[in-house]
Amino acid sequence: MSLETMQKMLRKAMSQRYAVGAFNIVDYNSARAVVRTAEELRSPVIIQTSVKTVKFWSPETIVTWVKELAVDSPVPVALHLDHCKDLDCIRQCIDAGWTSVMIDASAKPFEENLLMTRQVLEMAEPAGVSVEAEMGQIVGVEDDIFVSEHDAHLAKPDEAVRFCEGLNLAAFAPAIGTAHGVYKGEPKIDYDSIEEISKRTGIPIALHGGTGLADEVFRKAISLGCAKVNISTAIKYAFIDGFVDYHLENKKYEPLKPLEAQYTRICELVAGNIRLFGSEGKADL
């Protein structure tokens, strides 16, 4: 299968009440772990990259890896650009071969956010690329976007509906109480808003800040309309701990061994998430 867009994947997920995992990869090894695990479980999967990762490697390099992994894959794989504020970077990724992009203009006032989201849709649609947009501000630190908990505000359903009206979004990320990074306390998830926004917009909801949420939180959010779950921080931990733990235990300078341990650690994490989100066996679009 070649790379797929998120649109089809997420519509099916929403209608059948499961979610597709969107995993932030940082290199070929992590991308390989995510795709191979999805194949083992016959699950659709979204490979996500942060803007930092795109700048580190170059868009063309990342597309080469992911296309190589997806081309003979029996499962649909989407390549998605996570939180991007910069239209030039979005343009570069669309041109390079990303199948999906997220415009994050959520720090701007409502009308400006809407305008930028429209501009991105105008760029993406002719290329057959799907779009995710954000409204309200999701707390935490990611990609140098820092939103203090004090400043954060949740998305109000009426505004969310007004925002989404007439926009052909593949996914919508309203701030509903989750946070990026590691949770300091029990997050207060606004389930009523998830349900109302999902019902009134009909757009699959993207759940950001998936690392560290309890299993019941995922299940409930998915049952109410979340069809995409982002896993970033947990992958960072598996990536580094998988490598370092192996080295500390073995102290042998054979790089392929800790890389293999890192790969296995990421596979275990991804498999657990795919099962929890209910996308196992849902590879057919």
Active-site residue list:
82
Piece of the chain touching Zn ion by CB under 5 A; list 18-26, 27-35, 156-164, 206-214: 206-214
**Residues 6 or more apart in contact with residue 260 via CB below 8 angstroms:** none
Smallest distance from the beta carbon of 242 to Zn ion, in angstroms? Answer: 23
Piece of the chain touching Zn ion by CB under 5 A; list 2-10, 48-56, 159-167, 200-208: 200-208
Binding track, positions 152-191, relative to Zn ion; x by CB under 5 A: ----------------------------------------
Residue 191 tokens, joined: 């389930």
Of the two residues 209 and 242, which places its CB atom closer to Zn ion in the complex? 209
Instruction: Decide if residue 85 touches Zn ion (CB under 5 A).
Output: no
- Strands (E) across the chain are located at 3-4, 20-24, 45-49, 77-84, 100-103, 130-135, 140-142, 145-147, 171-174, 205-207, 226-231
Smallest distance from the beta carbon of 248 to Zn ion, in angstroms? Answer: 31
User: CB neighbours (10 Å) of residue 48?
Assistant: 25
Rg (CA), the chain: 18
Q: Of 177, 172, 171, 129, which is closest to residue 153 (Cα–Cα)?
A: 177
Smallest distance from the beta carbon of 106 to Zn ion, in angstroms? Answer: 10
Smallest distance from the beta carbon of 178 to Zn ion, in angstroms? Answer: 9
Which residue's beta carbon is nearest to the bound Zn ion?
Answer: 208
Of the two residues 36 and 208, which places its CB atom closer to Zn ion in the complex? 208
Smallest distance from the beta carbon of 250 to Zn ion, in angstroms? Answer: 35
> Which residue is listed with tokens 């063309």?
60
CA 131 to CA 125: how far, in whole Å? 8
Of the two residues 33 and 139, which places its CB atom closer to Zn ion in the complex? 139
| Beta strand 77-84 pairing with 171-174 | unpaired
Could you tell me how many residues of this chain bind Zn ion (CB under 5 A)? 1
CA 10 to CA 22: how far, in whole Å? 11
Instruction: Decide if residue 208 touches Zn ion (CB under 5 A).
Output: yes
By CB under 5 A, the residues from 86 to 145 that bind Zn ion are: none
Where on the chain is the footprint of Zn ion (CB under 5 A)?
208
